[in-house]
Structures are given as structure tokens and as C-alpha cells.
Chains A and B, each alone.
Chain A
Amino acid sequence: MPESQVSMQVNGKAVEALVEPRTLLIHFLREQLNLTGSHIGCDTSHCGACTIDLDGKSVKSCTLFAVQANGADIRTIEGMVNADGTLHPLQEGFRETHGLQCGFCTPGMIMRAYRLLQENKSPTEDEIRFGIAGNLCRCTGYQNIVKAIQYAAAKINGVPFQEAAE
């Protein structure tokens, strides 16, 4: 099949590659760029395990072709860690509050939460739950994921994290 040239920024680095027009962005990221942190959990854009940040929006990379990302600025879970190697507040929050178990949904969940906190610096619990409704988790029951995002929001905003009373 004829291939198309694409170029994009991925985690701050310029990438150029040849792809089949039908190559899904998730397969391009995972198999051509070896960025295997983003996962595939369904075929129908429901699970969100493949969520990445593209030009300032959360997108499900299983639902875009790689050619549609031509010229885009992409961030994946591999680009979340701070320059000095320390964890991003969201990554720290997920660990601190036990916001993950098997870890399969976690990269997509963190990338969605990253964009959510860009859109809304101090979301309420309901706003968080609504904001991550496109990302499924089978292990945690979401309660600690909500907490992880609250933890990160507090840390980013420079205020102490207070667990909501149960």
C-alpha cells in the first residue's frame, strides 16, 4: 500500500515517518515510535486506554489515523515525567492515593486528567467524574482516581491536599 509522509512533534521531539494512510495513530505511536505506554483496550473508542494529548485536546488515538496527526503537537504518557526525572504531580498523585491497580488504563487516565486540569484548575469531584467518563477502569472503582486528580490539582495549585471526608 502506498505510504504517506507525516511529521509531528511527539513529546517535544520532531518526528518524521512514512505511514500507510490507514495506520491508526495508536499503532503508529506504539509500533513505529515504540511508545508503548498508550494502550488498546477496545475497538470502539469507549475505553480511553489510548488517550493522548493532541494540539491541546484529549484524543483517543485509536480513532485517528496517523496521517490526521500530520503537523500536530502530541504528548503521551512518556512525555509526562519532569525534565529532572521526577514524577509529574498526576503521576505522583496516582501512586500516593492508590489510583491504579493493573496499570493498563493508567496512562490514558493520566493523559485525560492532564488535559482536564488544563481546562479546569480546581475541578469538583463531579467535574472530575464527568471529565474522565471517557476512560474506563476495571480495577479501582474510580474513587481513588478521583482522589489522585484532586491530589495533583492541589499540588499544581500549591495548596495542601485534603482528602474529602467519607
Chain B
Amino acid sequence: MNDQTATSAQRAEALQGMGCKRKRVEDIRFVQGKGNYVDDLRLPGMLYGDFTRSPHGHARIKKIDITKAAAVPGVVAVLTAETLKTVNLAWMPTLAGDVQMVLADGKVLFQNQEVAFVIAEERYVAADAADLVEVEYEALPVNVDPLKAMAQDAPVIREDIKDKTEGAHGKRKHYNHVFNWQAGDKAATDLAFANAEVTIKEFIVYPRVHPCPLETCQCVASFDKIKGELMLWGTFQAPHVIRTVAALISKIPEHKIHVIAPDIGGGFGNKVGAYSGYICAIVASIVTGHPVKWTEDRIENLSTTAFARDFHMEMEIACTKDGKVTALRCYTIADHGAFDACANASKWPAGLFSIITGSYDFPTAHVSVDGVYTNKAPGGVAYRCSFRVTEAAYCIERAMDIMAQKLGMDPAEFRMKNLIRREQFPYTSAMGWQYDSGDYHTAMTKAMESVNYKKLREEQKARQAAFKRGETRELMGIGVAFFTEIVGAGPSRNCDILGIAMFDSAEIRIHPTGTGICRLGTKSQGQGHETTYAQIIATELGLAADNIAVEEGNTDTAPYGLGTYGSRSTPVSGAATAMACRKIKAKAQMIAAYMLEVHDDDLDWDVDRFRVKGNPERFKTMTELAWAAYHEVPPGMEPGLEAVNYYDPPNFTFPFGAYICVVDVDVDTGMTKIRRFYALDDCGTRINPMIIEGQVHGGLTEAFGIAMGQEIHYDTEGNVTTASFMDYFLPTAVETPKWETDWTTTPSPHHPIGAKGVGESPNVGGVPCFSNAVNDAFKFLGSTHIQMPHDHWRTWAAADKLGLHQ
């Protein structure tokens, strides 16, 4: 194609900019086994660290004897809390304003808690020696039930703070209380309930689950004593935050800490926080003078680093007789485990849970959340969702179904009646969030028409009749969910982590030959950032995406950013990328005007070039302007063509979607079969439809796992019983349903390119949709709510409770 003769459309297509299904540049290395993951790294003289862990859920440590472990040939050092105290690192601050033991200090508070860290010349030797650390325990009473945490005689979990009446988020009302957090208008809500025509109340549990990326958490720390500098490679979703935390904890100046997050094998929120393994590897490297690698195994991953959910929600909705919602009230107990190590924006101990009014026009609402300590692993991360949004979406979407059932209305019809209308946007919710944009009725209508919803309900009715006549033992359930997310944390007025505003950044440098590099504060864990950020630049600057390198994860070269989680990369760094491009483009325009001897305003932008208005044959392409920027800039102008943008978003973005699921349930075996799953997502402007579809497939599959089988379960002794793939359900290709994806496009009005983020939507919307489908199957028999996960046993038990096996 000749550049002179190509049409604008042809030139635009050649750029592979926004909207095209560009193949991923990352894949070239991944399909050849040439990815560069942390465990692939081996440095000369590198040592290996491994933990001795607690077999108890709660116990006092009487004695730790490291003699035998230290005597194993190849063992270099053994760290305990006593050793860490000499460098003031036995405890570390959490992102949530609490403190957490790095190694058990005096007692253990959950099973598999880190007790000692053995450093050895070989991986196997470290593991051998970790088993030889002798710990004398005195078992203590265990509590793993958050609903009993604030009982009068509950075991004291945190002796270090048991007399403290003030926590990081205000008053504490019990020694196992972390915080109380409220939002909305309590008086108005209570009044609305007092006057309500119809109400429902249901206790809805979102069990403890785990993000469980296929690659576990790991790091390599290498401290250079002569330079006083620390290199830290790790599986970090937020490398800059890790650098700042490491500086604050270790007292090594931040400019002497170099954090590198190489390729990451999935994150989903698991790799946001700071873990004992990182701290111990750093200390071990300082102590031994060698690089130290720490690699978590799967059991350690599932049982110690960053669980998600564990929300126990008492949910109420008030409504008029004809089906208009009037109020929402929710009281939640949040199980935070032994330490409050939630990864939320610091001011939000229950995250963005107040998005619980969902997609519906509630005049008033109130939520109250009590966080409690139990003998379970700490965490509470945003697993493939913005902070606590998935808990909120699950709760409202179940409650809407339960209310529809009480009213005798179809759940889709009930939703249509209460969805926020297009003309109400921007819409301020009863909780004070300003939803930037939406077109909910169009999305819901499209979803219902696409699956022929009416016909499905007719089939269901016929099947129910056949079931009652004894002609079949199979029930059919239709799940409907309409979700609204709140992502892109976030505006500095709402969000900070440890006082750092949750902006994000992009730095773009265009080289003389018209290629360039973009560095960002986010960090891909599989989302394909190297591909999609380049597409934004291609469209904004008219340079081919193939000519733009995208680099993340090196804190020395990337501008400061808060990392990738909560679907924030596109809403925040994507915006920063577009804004940096616009700075570059403005400078290029001045250069073009100078070269073409016209005023800046006399130029039009056309895909990849500036043309003189009224004389389109005279133009300068961006590639020409890049060259010119390095050798013939206008007098007085700085040479070069680069820009950096730190983007503080004016608001969150609010992606939404309408999902419909059809499930068949065998009441005698409890087996379920997802017959159909349709997902319509509206994530605003679509950058790469192929990647969006892939994200939706993946998020739905994780939602399927959560809804249909996952739970990090503890027995009453505090033993975690689901800490390996033997017991913790991860769907295989056989169980995983086929996904039908669809979309509408409602651009965000405040985002430079109108994009909203999508990676987490399918997990947020998928879980209630599956759960609603299973519940819907049993609803005609009088059942209102069956708790997740809907595995075969629980589904069979639900059928049994309804008398279906008599």
C-alpha cells in the first residue's frame, strides 16, 4: 500500500489501533516457553528459603529449637521472630492500617502461619531443614466462625491489641473487632422499611475463596552490601507500592530499592499485598549477603496468601406492592482472618461495598459492616473485582430475585422495572456514587431477546409441570443478573493507599524514526497490556502499534503507579496513555505548522498526519514529525518528542452487563449442567475485542468455579481442609461451559477514550447469575435461598430438604 495513495481508512487499518482484534505481541515468547517468570530466575550464589509453618489454628509457642535444622549440611541460616526483632521486622504494617506478624511472635493465629524461615544452598535442603525446626506449642481455643467472633467468651485472637479501643478505622467494640463502617442514610432507610408494603430479608453468605493464579507468589531478593542497594524481583501486581512498602519497612532508601515484576502467571488480586515470604527473603539476603529465592507451593498459596470474600450479609429490600424498590438495608460481618491485611484503598475498610444498590433506582439505603478477627489466614483481597464489589453485586442480585419471587414477578421483569433509566445518567446513587453513564434497558432487552427469554420461561413451566407429574427428575433454572461495577480506583478525593493517591501513569518516548516506547505504572498479569496500550497510542498518534514497545514492571524506568487490580489499568493508565499522547501530538502539531509555514490552527489531523486546511496535499506524517523533533524544531522549542502523564481520574468508571444462564439440575444426584450462558458486557469503548472476549471467557470460568464449587473451608479445630487442588475446585475444560458473549457500547463521558475496564465484570456478574440459576430451579418448590457453592452435595442436600427424595 502506497502511503501517498492509501485512503484514510486503509491507513487507519494499517495502524492496528483501537477497535481491532490485534494479535498479542506477548504470545510470541509465551508459546515458545520463553516467558520470563520469577522462578525462572537464577543468580550466581542464590540461596533458597522455605518456611516452617504452624500445624495449629491457634496456639502459644513455648519454644522454638532450630539446632537440628541449622545443623543440616547446606543450611546457611534460620530466621525466627527473635532474629527478626533484632532488625525490628518481626511485625510489618498492613495496607489496611493493621500490623501483621512476619514470623510467629509468641503465638500462632492460623494454620500454616509462618513460624521460621530456613535458608539453604538448595531448594530441597531448605525444605528438609524446615521440617527439622522443632516448635513446642500449647494449643489454644480456636474460632473460625466470624458470627461468633464478638461473643463474650470468644477466644482472644489478637493479644497485641486486645485492650485497644481505637483501630485504624475508628472505635472497636470487642477485642476481636476490627472496624465498623457505614454508608447511606440510616434514619431514612429505617423509616422507609417501617412504612414498606413488601419486604424481604435473607442471610446471604459469600464464602471465603481464593484467587489462585496458576503461578504462586514468589520473589528473589538480592542485597548489595557495598552499594547498600536491594534488587527485588517478584510476582507483584503493584511493583511501585511494593518498593515504597519495602523502603518504609526496611529503612533502605527508596532510590536504592529496585523492584522488578517480570512476566506474571496470573494474579487476580493474589499478588497485590506484601507477604512474609518477601520480607524474609529480603532479610535473608541482607543477613547472608547472597540472593535469596522464595517460592510458594500451592498449599501455601491457598492457605496463607490473600484469600477473598468471606462476607456474611443480612440483606433486606423494601418494595411497593407493584414492584418498585423503596429501600435497601444490609448488615454484614466480614471475616478478615487473624490480621487485617485487606488490600483496599486505605480509607475504605469495606472497599466499595456501598455499590450494593447495584443497577437499581433505590431512593434510600444503608449498609453497616463489622470486620472481625478469626483464626484464619489474613487477606481480603479484591479477587478479580474492584474492592468488595463482587460481594455487593452478589448480594443485591440474589436479593432482587428473592423479592421478585415474593412479589410473584418474573425476575427479569422486576429488574426492568427498577433499573436506572438512561435519562437519569449521570445518576447519583443513594450511597452517593455518581454513575457516569449507562443504558441498562437496552442491554437487558438485548440479552433477553438474544436468548429468547420468553420461550425459556415457557419451557421451564412445562418442565416444572412434568416434574410434578413425575415424568422427569430434572429441574430447569434460569439465572438472570444485571450488574454495575465501580472500577478504575481511583479519584484522589476517594482513594489512596498508605496516603499515596491512586493515580496512574504513562511515559511515552517517540524515537527519531517514528517508533517509540511507552512505560506505565501498571503491570500485566496476562491481560495483554503490551498489545492494547500500543493500540491506544496507534490511534492517538498515528504510529503503527507494531512500532510501539510497551514496558511495565521495572520501578527504575517506569513512572510511579499503583499497579494493576480492580480493573484500573484501562480506566487510569489507559487514560494516562491517551493524555500523554495528546501532549506529544500538540507538540508535533507545532512542529508541523512550523515546517508547513502555517498557523497551528490551520492544520487538520488525519489518522497519522497533519494536513493544511484547504490544501490537503500539503501534510506532515507523524513519522516525519518524529524525525523533525530531533533535528528541526521551531526556534525556542525543546528538541525531542516525549511526554509523561500522571492521571488522577475525575470519577470511577461504571461498566455493566446483563447475563443469563440456563441450568439443568438432577435432583437425585445434585449434578448440575450449565446448558447455556449468555454474557452481554458494556465496557464503554472497546480497545481490542479479541482480548475483551478472552477476559470475559476467563472471568466467567472463575465465576463458575466460585459459584459451583469453591470454598476455602476450615474445620472447627482451625484446620484448612481445602488447601490443594485435591480439595479446592478449579474447573477443567470438561466442566467449563461454553460461553456466548455480546456487547453494547456506552462510552464513559469522563474518560479520554471512553473506556471503562472489563477484566473483572464477568466474575462480578457471573457468580450471581449462576447462583440465581440454581436457586431459580428450586424456587417453584418454595425455596428462597440456597447458599453457595452449588456443588453436587449441597445441591442434593437442598433437594433433600425440600422433600424431593421421599
Cα(A59)–Cα(B436), bound, Å: 52
- CB pair A141–B739 under 8 Å, yes or no, is yes
Q: Which residues 139-165 in A have Cβ within 8 Å of B in the complex?
A: 139-146
Q: Which of A2-10, A65-73, A90-98 contacts B (4 or more CB under 8 A)?
A: A90-98
Q: Which residues of B contact A92 (CB under 8 A)?
A: 31
- A75–chain B nearest beta-carbon distance, Å: 11
Q: Which residues 624-651 in B have Cβ within 8 Å of A in the complex?
A: none
Q: Tell whether A142 pairs with B33 under 8 Å between CB atoms, given A42-B725, A102-B214.
A: no
Interface of B is mostly: loop
Q: Tell whether A145 pairs with B32 under 8 Å between CB atoms, given A102-B213, A138-B214.
A: no
Query: Taking the complex as formed, is A22 at the interface, i.e. its CB lies under 8 A from any CB of chain B?
Result: yes
Of the candidates B33, B213, B215, B697, the one having the most CB atoms from chain A within 10 angstroms of its own CB is B33
- CB pair A100–B215 under 8 Å, yes or no, is no
Query: Taking the complex as formed, is A36 at the interface, i.e. its CB lies under 8 A from any CB of chain B?
Result: yes
Q: Which residues of A contact B525 (CB under 8 A)?
A: 102
Cα(A109)–Cα(B776), bound, Å: 36
Q: Which of B264-272, B479-487, B566-574 contacts A (4 or more CB under 8 A)?
A: B264-272
- B738–chain A nearest beta-carbon distance, Å: 6
Q: Tell whether A104 pairs with B215 under 8 Å between CB atoms, given A77-B32, A110-B31.
A: yes
Question: Among the listed B40, B694, B700, which residue makes an inter-chain contact with A144, where contact means beta carbons less than 8 Å apart?
Answer: B694
Task: Count chain B residues whose beta carbon lies closer than 8 angstroms to a beta carbon of A.
Answer: 57
Query: Taking the complex as formed, is B91 at the interface, i.e. its CB lies under 8 A from any CB of chain A?
Result: no
Cα(A49)–Cα(B725), bound, Å: 13
- CB pair A143–B738 under 8 Å, yes or no, is yes
Q: Which of B21-29, B77-85, B132-140, B200-208 contacts A (4 or more CB under 8 A)?
A: B21-29
Q: Which residues of B contact A36 (CB under 8 A)?
A: 33, 37, 39-40
Q: Which residues of B contact A27 (CB under 8 A)?
A: 123
- CB pair B124–A129 under 8 Å, yes or no, is no
Query: Taking the complex as formed, is A56 at the interface, i.e. its CB lies under 8 A from any CB of chain B?
Result: no
Q: Tell whether A136 pairs with B33 under 8 Å between CB atoms, given A42-B298, A102-B215, A141-B697.
A: no
Q: Which residues of B contact A139 (CB under 8 A)?
A: 266, 526, 694, 698
Question: Among the listed B26, B35, B724, which residue makes an inter-chain contact with A42, where contact means beta carbons less than 8 Å apart?
Answer: B724
- CB pair B697–A103 under 8 Å, yes or no, is no
Cα(A37)–Cα(B263), bound, Å: 12
A-B Cβ contacts below 8 A, count: 178
Of the candidates A22, A27, A49, A139, the one having the most CB atoms from chain B within 10 angstroms of its own CB is A139
Q: Tell whether A101 pairs with B698 under 8 Å between CB atoms, given A47-B725, A96-B23.
A: yes
- CB pair B32–A146 under 8 Å, yes or no, is no
Query: Taking the complex as formed, is A54 at the interface, i.e. its CB lies under 8 A from any CB of chain B?
Result: no
Query: Taking the complex as formed, is B690 at the interface, i.e. its CB lies under 8 A from any CB of chain A?
Result: yes
Q: Tell whether A142 pairs with B736 under 8 Å between CB atoms, given A104-B214, A137-B214.
A: yes
Cα(A137)–Cα(B732), bound, Å: 8
- A2–chain B nearest beta-carbon distance, Å: 14
Q: Which residues of B contact A31 (CB under 8 A)?
A: 42, 123
Cα(A9)–Cα(B124), bound, Å: 25
Query: Taking the complex as formed, is B701 at the interface, i.e. its CB lies under 8 A from any CB of chain A?
Result: yes
- CB pair B697–A140 under 8 Å, yes or no, is yes
- A117–chain B nearest beta-carbon distance, Å: 15
Of the candidates A44, A106, A133, A143, the one having the most CB atoms from chain B within 10 angstroms of its own CB is A143
The residue of chain A having its C-beta at the shortest distance from the C-beta of B525 within the complex is A102
* Binary flags per residue of A72-94, CB closer than 8 Å to B gives 1, else 0: 00001110110000010001101
The residue of chain A having its C-beta at the shortest distance from the C-beta of B27 within the complex is A95
Cα(A143)–Cα(B740), bound, Å: 10
- CB pair A136–B214 under 8 Å, yes or no, is yes
- CB pair B732–A103 under 8 Å, yes or no, is no
Query: Taking the complex as formed, is B34 at the interface, i.e. its CB lies under 8 A from any CB of chain A?
Result: yes
Q: Tell whether A94 pairs with B27 under 8 Å between CB atoms, given A40-B39, A132-B733.
A: yes
- CB pair A43–B33 under 8 Å, yes or no, is no
The residue of chain B having its C-beta at the shortest distance from the C-beta of A27 within the complex is B123
Query: Taking the complex as formed, is B30 at the interface, i.e. its CB lies under 8 A from any CB of chain A?
Result: yes
Query: Taking the complex as formed, is B528 at the interface, i.e. its CB lies under 8 A from any CB of chain A?
Result: yes
- CB pair B30–A138 under 8 Å, yes or no, is no
Q: Tell whether A130 pairs with B698 under 8 Å between CB atoms, given A41-B298, A100-B30, A103-B35.
A: no
Question: Among the listed B37, B298, B734, which residue makes an inter-chain contact with A104, where contact means beta carbons less than 8 Å apart?
Answer: B37
Query: Taking the complex as formed, is A105 at the interface, i.e. its CB lies under 8 A from any CB of chain B?
Result: yes
Query: Taking the complex as formed, is A13 at the interface, i.e. its CB lies under 8 A from any CB of chain B?
Result: no
Task: Count chain A residues whose beta carbon lies closer than 8 angstroms to a beta carbon of B.
Answer: 59
Query: Taking the complex as formed, is B334 at the interface, i.e. its CB lies under 8 A from any CB of chain A?
Result: no
Q: Which residues of B contact A142 (CB under 8 A)?
A: 697, 701, 732-733, 736
Query: Taking the complex as formed, is A38 at the interface, i.e. its CB lies under 8 A from any CB of chain B?
Result: yes
Query: Taking the complex as formed, is B691 at the interface, i.e. its CB lies under 8 A from any CB of chain A?
Result: yes
- A125–chain B nearest beta-carbon distance, Å: 9
- CB pair A104–B32 under 8 Å, yes or no, is no
- CB pair B32–A91 under 8 Å, yes or no, is yes
- CB pair B32–A101 under 8 Å, yes or no, is no
Q: Which residues of B contact A25 (CB under 8 A)?
A: none
- CB pair B31–A95 under 8 Å, yes or no, is yes
Query: Taking the complex as formed, is A20 at the interface, i.e. its CB lies under 8 A from any CB of chain B?
Result: yes
Cα(A101)–Cα(B42), bound, Å: 25
- CB pair A129–B733 under 8 Å, yes or no, is yes
- CB pair B33–A101 under 8 Å, yes or no, is no
- CB pair B694–A39 under 8 Å, yes or no, is no
- A44–chain B nearest beta-carbon distance, Å: 5
Cα(A1)–Cα(B278), bound, Å: 30
The residue of chain A having its C-beta at the shortest distance from the C-beta of B265 within the complex is A104
The residue of chain A having its C-beta at the shortest distance from the C-beta of B725 within the complex is A46
Q: Which residues of A contact B690 (CB under 8 A)?
A: 98
Q: Tell whether A81 pairs with B32 under 8 Å between CB atoms, given A104-B37, A133-B732.
A: yes
Cα(A74)–Cα(B263), bound, Å: 26
Q: Which residues 710-750 in B have Cβ within 8 Å of A in the complex?
A: 724-726, 730, 732-734, 736, 738-740
- CB pair B730–A138 under 8 Å, yes or no, is yes
Cα(A100)–Cα(B27), bound, Å: 8
Query: Taking the complex as formed, is B702 at the interface, i.e. its CB lies under 8 A from any CB of chain A?
Result: yes
- B47–chain A nearest beta-carbon distance, Å: 14
- B567–chain A nearest beta-carbon distance, Å: 15
- A5–chain B nearest beta-carbon distance, Å: 19
- A166–chain B nearest beta-carbon distance, Å: 6
The residue of chain A having its C-beta at the shortest distance from the C-beta of B267 within the complex is A102
Query: Taking the complex as formed, is B212 at the interface, i.e. its CB lies under 8 A from any CB of chain A?
Result: yes
Q: Which residues of A contact B37 (CB under 8 A)?
A: 36, 39, 104
Q: Which residues 520-535 in B have Cβ within 8 Å of A in the complex?
A: 525-528
Q: Which residues of A contact B30 (CB under 8 A)?
A: 100, 103, 106
Q: Which residues of B contact A78 (CB under 8 A)?
A: 32-33
Cα(A49)–Cα(B726), bound, Å: 16
Q: A23-B124, A130-B733 are in contact. List 8 more A-B contacts (CB 8 A).
A: A37-B33, A37-B34, A41-B298, A98-B24, A100-B27, A101-B698, A103-B30, A105-B265
**Interface residues of B, Cβ cutoff 8 Å to A:** 23-24, 26-35, 37, 39-40, 42, 123-124, 212-216, 263-266, 268, 297-299, 525-528, 690-691, 693-695, 697-702, 724-726, 730, 732-734, 736, 738-740
Considering the complex of A and B, which 10 residue pairs feature the smallest CB-CB distances, nearest first? A37-B33, A102-B526, A104-B265, A103-B30, A77-B33, A141-B697, A141-B701, A46-B725, A101-B526, A36-B40
